[in-house]
Structure 1
Amino acid sequence: MITEQAPGKLYIAGEYAVLEQDCPAILVAVNQFIRVSITKTKSSTGLIHSKQYSQDSIHWVRHGAEMVIDNRDNPFEYILAAISFTERFCLEKHIEMQVYDLYINSDLDSADGKKYGLGSSAAVTVATVKAILRFYNVPFSNELVYKLSAISHYSVQGNGSAGDIAASVYGGWLAYQTFDKSWLKQELAHRSLSEVVDEAWPGLKIQLLTPPTGMNLMIGWSQKPASTSRLVDETNANKEALNGKYREFIRLSRKCVLKMIVGFERNDIDLIKKQIRENRKLLQHFAAINQIAIEIPRLSKLINIAESFGGAAKTSGAGNGDCGIVITDEQTNIAALEEEWRQNGIMPLDFHVHSVKLAR
């Protein structure tokens, strides 16, 4: 049996703006994982099973090179997209297709099944791509895994920056800028998948960051799950109407995140904390002009408590629930901060930054 895993992620800064070209965001991979195990089956029928995604399993058969699902109510869109594109890549390498069983297990949800907002769809896509490549003995780099995963994920989600894919592939702290979506769509329509993944993708930038000595990341969970895709759809629909206001948000977010990257490069926790607070203000303004809820009352409480202890805090990701993040230094009384969170219905998550080893 082959097992691959991919970590969850959290956005630190640059949310929403990262959907645009040349607009960086900062993300971090956390030590909570989705694991995908794959084993060759002796029968003609393969199995895809996950306790977290469904009480039922999907059965499929191989019709030549094509995988055919016999379950109409299919909750495994990201897994199936990852399998489809990765096998397409393998077919272009003249690898004979086989039948296998795939098992998925996840740490990215709470005990009662609620999502933390750690990018489970991205992590399961990445882990599936890695497992399939290893099953077929295809050597892979982080870049190959990122590109196959980004294509697979985008084919299902239809929006997003694929920053969560990058965090799940590369791990640690990273600065990320998205690729040109229309270019990718055009290339996929006119070139083989192998050619597309071998190309340089316009706009794509992935830079690993080293956190300053003494800097600590705290994570608080609002206990309210949120839908990133829905919020992104709403803001995308408002772009043209907002016009100048939207462009100004993009400009200021880019400026803020670039300064934060300098904070990492200079080992300057105070500069990073200052830009976290600035990014929070930008997101609050962005929410107001779009008439959406990013910083719900529970997240405002989380942030205000953290700030009272000297931490720099904001929402993480699309907001409207999920998690808030706090940047602290060695002077912060973390135990007291977490206790006050608990008294206000906010759950501290004891997750840590996960660094990924280089892919084989």
Structure 2
Amino acid sequence: MSKGHDFLITVKAPGKLYIAGEYAVVETGFPAILVALNQFVTVTVEESNDYGTINSQQYKETPLYWKRDGKNMIFDNRDNPFHYILSAIRLTESYAQSLNKTMKCYHLSIDSDLDSPDGKKYGLGSSAAVTVATVKALCRFYNLPITNNILFKLSAIAHLDIQGNGSLGDIAASVYGGWIAYRSFDREWLKSARNTFNLKKLLSIEWPQLNVELLTPPENLELLIGWTGSPASTSHLVDAVGLKKAEKRLSYQDFLNASKNCLLNMIEGFHDRSIEIIQKEIRKNRELLQELGRLSNVEIETPLLHQLCETAEKAKGAAKTSGAGGGDCGIVVINKKYDTQLLTNNWKKIGINRLNLHVHQIND
């Protein structure tokens, strides 16, 4: 999505939601299924002359001013909330410089509808989406060759530089859109490869274990998303589980193997267009995550998420937590033939909001 005139570029990147395979996906090569959603981060880039700005609707009081010193950006204000955006800029400008592009000044504006109007986080991957949208906008601005694979790799490096952990599945969902099966690449390999290869080379070679497959859901599948109203910190939860995995290595390995089998069966369910198989494996994945929570002493399925799942099961849906759990969202996969109004009403009574979101396909 772009409109370009007089060096004004506008692009969007969608948010994401995990359907299955959480926690296991942070290990190299272990699969997860995600969807991109029709809520977006929008980035606009407009060429300027002597200085640039970075503005966000979400941080109205702190626009960031910068100027050029040759190829470098010099900031007036280093105490800022724009870490992911700056990392994305740094990476994309390195890519532009590797292609001998002239560095310019520009105003970059960000707007997001991934959080609630009062600023509460839904857990839809806003940091990933803003990274992807920034990289995409600057690639258009500098007229750089860009494919989805290059967009993913640039965004993944930029995101990892700030966050330091995670699977990058949320980046993949923002780049590829729709329903995807994702296996994460070897992060240790990337660390050493960055010392070995220049950026241009790193973007062109295959990354070990990385795999993204676009999935088509059965026609009778409906996805419901419920939000518990309490945000969760993915990084902290993933770290907490990571600390326990060293202590309980065998149990953790059992979890990983079971998760992989569950996800491979679920992916087959998509290939066979079978909602029954997908639902069966959603339920299995929920059990595995509950077991991981017990193993790690981490509350993945909070009492409200538990109620979200149980009420959905009574309504003939298959339900589980989405993402790291500990709050945020739960998902339900249900046959379209069932009326979901009663379920939505029950959710409302116990303080769960059904989010009016749909899967977003990327056509460009």
Q: Is 2:268 aligned against 1:283? A: no
Distance 2:52 2:314 in 1: 54
Structure-1 residue corresponding to 2:66: 60
Equivalent residue letter for 2:22: E
Deviations 1:116-149 (A, max 9, x none): 0000000000000000000001131111100000
Distance 2:334 2:190 in 1: 39
CA drift of 1:72 comes to 2.5
Deviations 1:298-353 (A, max 9, x none): 11111111111000000000000110000000232211111111111000001000
Q: Which runs of 5+ in 2 are unaligned?
A: 1-7
Distance 1:87 1:238 in 2: 39
Map 1:291-330 onto structure 2 (within 5 A).
Answer: 291-330=297-336
Equivalent residue letter for 2:244: N
Contact 2:62-2:80 within 8 A present in 1 as well: no
Secondary structure at the residue paired with 2:135? helix
Distance 1:51 1:142 in 2: 27
Q: 2:16 aligns with which of 3, 9, 14?
A: 9
Q: Is 2:179 aligned against 1:173? A: yes
Distance 1:239 1:189 in 2: 29
Q: Is 2:104 aligned against 1:98? A: yes
Structure-1 residue corresponding to 2:226: 220
Q: Is 2:136 aligned against 1:126? A: no
Distance 2:86 2:331 in 1: 32
Secondary structure at the residue paired with 2:235? helix
Secondary structure at the residue paired with 2:58? coil
Q: TM-score, normalised by structure 1?
A: 0.98
Equivalent residue letter for 1:9: K
Equivalent residue letter for 1:19: V
Dislocated runs of 4+, deviation >3 Å = none
- Give the total of aligned pairs: 357
Contact 2:316-2:334 within 8 A present in 1 as well: yes
Q: TM-score, normalised by structure 2?
A: 0.97
Deviations 1:73-108 (A, max 9, x none): 121110000000010011000001001000000010
Q: 1:33 aligns with which of 31, 35, 40?
A: 40
CA drift of 1:70 comes to 1.9
CA drift of 1:54 comes to 5.1
Identity %: 52
Contact 1:29-1:353 within 8 A present in 2 as well: yes
Q: 2:25 aligns with which of 9, 18, 30?
A: 18
Q: What's the C-alpha RMSD, in Å, of the aligned pairs?
A: 0.8
Structure-2 residue corresponding to 1:46: 52
Q: Is 2:200 aligned against 1:197? A: no
Distance 2:326 2:282 in 1: 18
Distance 1:21 1:54 in 2: 39
Q: Bigger CA drift: 182-191 or 200-209?
A: 182-191
Q: 1:354 aligns with which of 335, 347, 360?
A: 360
Map 1:159-170 onto structure 2 (within 5 A).
Answer: 159-170=165-176
Distance 1:306 1:53 in 2: 37
Distance 1:54 1:154 in 2: 26
Equivalent residue letter for 2:344: E
Secondary structure at the residue paired with 1:270? helix
CA drift of 1:239 comes to 1.9
Q: Is 2:88 aligned against 1:82? A: yes
Distance 2:360 2:255 in 1: 31
Secondary structure at the residue paired with 2:28? coil
Distance 1:53 1:334 in 2: 37
Deviations 1:188-216 (A, max 9, x none): 11211010010000000000000011100
Distance 2:83 2:133 in 1: 14
